[in-house]
């Protein structure tokens, strides 16, 4: 599965990030990262984003721009509703695994 941030919507959605509670959003990002048992450095390597930026986002000092937001969601495999506080489940179902495919046959 490949990721292209240009395929995600812009416009109004980019302004939504401005109005989110930075500390709440940051704590959700940190929880999602910890669910994967990754350090900030691990997440930085996987996303190509600076570890310092991830630290700023997790502590609520700053918010990611829309492109970085989508990158984080994709790499962490989390639902935007979770980050926005609209859902309780951090993990998306993700691509089917070999085991789940065999179970459905």
Asked whether residue 2 is assigned to any structural domain, the reply reads no
> Contact 77/1 with Cβ under 8 angstroms?
no
The H helix count followed by the E strand count for the chain is: 7, 0
Say what the pLDDT of residue 101 is: 33
Closest CA to 80 of 44, 18, 28: 28
Q: What's the pLDDT tens digit per position in 46-64?
A: 999 999 999 999 999 998 9
Asked whether residue 1 is assigned to any structural domain, the reply reads no
Say what the pLDDT of residue 83 is: 81
**pTM score > 0.85 for this model?**
no
Between 83 and 43, the higher pLDDT residue:
43
Q: Residue 99: count other Cβ atoms within 10 Å of its Cβ.
A: 8
Q: Which residue range(s) make up the domain with 35?
A: 10-103
* Domain CATH code at residue 28: 1.10.260.40
pLDDT classification of 85: cutoffs 50, 70, 90: confident
Asked whether residue 30 is assigned to any structural domain, the reply reads yes
Asked whether residue 45 is assigned to any structural domain, the reply reads yes
Asked whether residue 59 is assigned to any structural domain, the reply reads yes
Domain count, the chain: 1
Residue tagged 């990158």 (tokens): 71
């Amino acid at each position: 599965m490949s990721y292209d941030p240009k395929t995600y919507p812009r416009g109004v959605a980019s302004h939504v990030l401005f109005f989110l509670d930075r500390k709440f959003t940051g704590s959700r990002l940190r929880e999602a990262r910890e669910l994967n048992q990754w350090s900030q450095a691990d997440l930085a390597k996987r996303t190509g984003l600076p570890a310092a930026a991830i630290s700023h986002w997790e502590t609520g000092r700053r918010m990611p721009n829309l492109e970085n937001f989508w990158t984080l969601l994709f790499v962490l495999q989390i639902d935007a509703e979770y980050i926005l506080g609209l859902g309780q489940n951090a993990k998306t179902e993700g691509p089917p695994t070999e085991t789940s495919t065999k179970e459905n046959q």
